[in-house]
Amino acid sequence: MELLLIAVIVVGILVYLARQRRSPRPFPPWATPLLHSPLRRRSFSPEAAAERHGLAPGNRVLEVGPGDGYLTPAAIDRIGPGGRLVCLDVQLAMLHKLRGALGSHTPALVCASGSQLPFRSRAFDLVFLSHVLGEIPDPMGALAEYARVLRPGGTLAITEGLPDPDFIRCDRLVGMARLAGFVPAERLGRALHYTQRFRIGEGAA
């Protein structure tokens, strides 16, 4: 009986992963407690993420897909009072959770698609996403938008890792980003959990 139950669970997980691959969808708000697991905090703490993403004092930063704000407070601390952080999510319910978690420390929140940004061109010094790009139905459109809103010489930082069902291999990510006009820069982490930074050229439109 136990073996049958395990088999059913495994099959269910495989079906979910296959459906997620065919039809990407955002991380559900009800599942946000998973983002704060002790294992994740040990392996990818918010402070480590802020460093890996390359945030610096005074940066104008866009965080795409912040969830309920797991990485957000460390990003705010990293850019300091002279910087500005905007958090964008396609799910209004997720932004409500973020505001509820951060209270008076909540940065600017925008509800919009990660591939259709309501910002002027060259508005940001840095854009970062953590385990999000694979959830966006039009990832190439998203990358083109990140290229548009970054200032010349700006940074795009993308973190991907297993067991995320939307995991994107680094070689595939680099190929996609090149098509959008990005130049690969530093890569941090491991093959199955990495952060890849990109630069947008000085001559970018």
Higher per-residue confidence, 21 vs 159: 159
> What is the structure's pLDDT at 159?
97
Domain assignment of residue 196, yes or no: yes
> What is the structure's pLDDT at 55?
98
Across residues 161-174, what is the average pLDDT? 94
Domain assignment of residue 136, yes or no: yes
Q: What is the pTM of this model?
A: 0.85
Across residues 147-159, what is the average pLDDT? 97
> What is the structure's pLDDT at 30?
81
Domain assignment of residue 27, yes or no: yes
The parent domain of residue 10 ranges over: 2-200
The DSSP-derived string for the chain is -HHHHHHHHHHHHHHHHHHHHHS--PPPGGGGGGGG-HHHHHHS-HHHHHHHHT--TT-EEEEE--TTTSSHHHHHHHH-TT-EEEEEES-HHHHHHHHHHHGGG--EEEE--TTS--S-TT-EEEEEEES-GGGSS-HHHHHHHHHHHEEEEEEEEEEEETT-TT---HHHHHHHHHHTTEEEEEEEEETTEEEEEEEE-TT--
Minimum mean pLDDT range among 36-40, 50-54, 126-130 = 36-40
CATH code of 67's domain: 3.40.50.150
pLDDT band at residue 111 under the 50/70/90 scheme: very high
Count of domains forming the chain: 1
pLDDT(203) > 60: no
**pLDDT tens-digit readout, 174-191:** 999 999 999 999 999 999
Chain mean pLDDT for the chain: 88
pLDDT band at residue 29 under the 50/70/90 scheme: confident
Domain assignment of residue 205, yes or no: no
